């Protein structure tokens, strides 16, 4: 039973355009969401997060949107750069289990020059 | 500030053996979480330690165990290794109190033959 789903295994975009990565969740107890980027042979790197009391959080080229009613969040990268090519993981947690992040299976982003 | 370190980076073991992996968290972080990453299952939570106590536990058999020392360093042990235990084992550290963000180490690649 996957509580966090990333339905697109891969995404290809042109350099300079917008990349939109999507994530759906089923557990209404989740109150915090995070995005991680992972390169091969490295651990995941924290990118950006959002609390369930917000619907948007921005950090430079990265923006995360949260739609609680739809149990959906998305990560926007604008403009996309070739160095953004990596696997992106969506993760969720709730206050009763802070140290336990539930991860989606990831979306491989390829940004073409 | 130094990041999360994990040793060893690579291990090859035989079925039936046991293995111990080590993780040193970011200075000042009191929580260490362990995850298993496999191609089929993605990133799955094993357990979390906070102030030397196991605070959360995932759905793994008792062959997987861990501990945390007073300096917050953590070890994970897998006994009676099975072929299916071949995976990337990641540890992540966080403050454990005021933040959900976890910071990952590079992982230990375990191969069981």
pLDDT in tens, A67-90: 999 999 999 999 999 999 999 999
- Location of structure tokens 């980076």: B9
Q: Cα(B94)–Cα(B52) distance, rounded to whole angstroms?
A: 14
Residue B46 has pLDDT above 90, yes or no: yes
Q: Pairing state of beta strands A4-5 and A56-59?
A: unpaired
Q: Return mean pLDDT, chain B.
A: 94
| CB within 8 Å of B112: residues ≥ 6 apart | B12, B13, B14, B15, B81, B82, B83, B84, B85, B86
Q: Residue A90: its chain B contacts at CB < 8 A?
A: none
Sheet with A19-25, strands from edge to edge, namely A4-5, A19-25, A72-77, A62-67, A56-59
- Contact check, Cβ <8 Å, A103/B31: no
Residue A12: what pLDDT?
A: 98
The answer to whether the Cβ–Cβ distance between A100 and B42 falls below 8 Å is no
pLDDT at B98: 73
- Residue A88: closest CA among A2, A8, A1, A3: A8
Residue with tokens 């090519």: A85
Burial of A28 (C-beta count, 10 Å sphere; 0-12/13-18/19+): exposed
The tokens describing B80, both together, are 């009676």
- DSSP code for B26: P
* pLDDT < 70 positions in chain A: 96-97
Confidence of residue B15 (pLDDT cuts 50, 70, 90): very high
Which pLDDT belongs to residue B61? 96
**Mean pLDDT, rounded, for B22-41:** 93
Which has the closest alpha carbon to B56: B86, B25, B100? Answer: B100
Q: Does the distance separating the beta carbons of B104 and A44 come in below 8 Å?
A: yes
pLDDT at B58 over 70: yes
CB B81: neighbour CB atoms within 10 A? 19
> Distances from the Cα of B84 to the Cαs of A8, A88, B12, B52, in angstroms?
26, 25, 13, 28
Are A57 and A50 in contact by the 8 Å Cβ rule? The answer is yes
Taking an 8 Å cut-off on Cβ atoms, the answer to whether A99 and B106 are in contact is no
- B-chain residue closest to A39, CA distance: B106
Looking at residue B39, what is its pLDDT?
85
Whole-number pLDDT of residue A96:
67
The confidence score (pLDDT) of residue A99 equals 81
Cβ separation of A102 and B96 shorter than 8 Å? no
Q: Mean of the pLDDT values across residues B19-41?
A: 94
User: Which of B46, B54, B52, B1 shows the shortest CA–CA distance to B21?
Assistant: B46
State residue A41's pLDDT score: 81
CB-closest option in A42, A43, A99 to B31: A99
Q: Are strands A45-51 and A32-38 parallel, antiparallel or unpaired?
A: antiparallel
Counted across chains A and B, CB pairs separated by less than 8 A come out at 62
Residues of A in contact with B50 (CB under 8 A): 99
Of B96, B103, B105, the CB nearest to A99: B96
Q: Collapse the DSSP code of B6 into the 3-class scheme (helix H, G, I; strand E, B; otherwise coil) and give the result.
A: strand
The tens digit of pLDDT for each residue in B83-107 reads: 999 999 999 999 878 778 999 999 9
pLDDT at B1: 65
pLDDT at res. B10: 96
Q: How near does any CA of chain B get to the CA of A48, in Å?
A: 9
């Amino acid at each position: 039973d996957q509580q966090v789903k990333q339905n697109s295994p891969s995404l290809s975009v042109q350099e300079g355009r917008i990349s939109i990565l999507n994530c759906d969740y089923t557990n209404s107890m989740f109150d915090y969401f995070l995005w991680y980027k992972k390169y091969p042979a490295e651990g995941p790197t924290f990118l950006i997060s959002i609390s369930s009391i917000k619907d948007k959080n921005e950090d430079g080229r990265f923006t995360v949107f949260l739609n609680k009613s739809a149990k959906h969040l998305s990560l926007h990268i604008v403009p996309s750069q070739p160095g953004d090519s990596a696997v992106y993981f969506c993760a969720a947690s709730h206050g009763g289990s802070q140290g336990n992040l539930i991860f989606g299976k990831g979306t491989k982003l390829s940004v073409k020059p | 500030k130094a990041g999360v370190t994990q040793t060893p980076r690579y291990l090859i073991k035989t079925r039936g053996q046991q293995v111990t992996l080590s993780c040193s968290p970011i200075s000042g972080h009191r929580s260490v979480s362990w995850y298993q990453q496999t191609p089929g299952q993605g990133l799955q939570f094993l357990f979390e330690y906070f102030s030397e106590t196991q605070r959360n536990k995932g759905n793994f058999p008792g062959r997987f165990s861990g501990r945390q020392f007073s300096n917050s360093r953590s070890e994970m042990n897998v006994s009676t290794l099975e072929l299916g235990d071949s995976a990337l084992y990641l540890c992540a550290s966080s403050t454990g109190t005021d933040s959900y963000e976890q910071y990952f180490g590079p992982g230990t690649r375990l191969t069981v033959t």
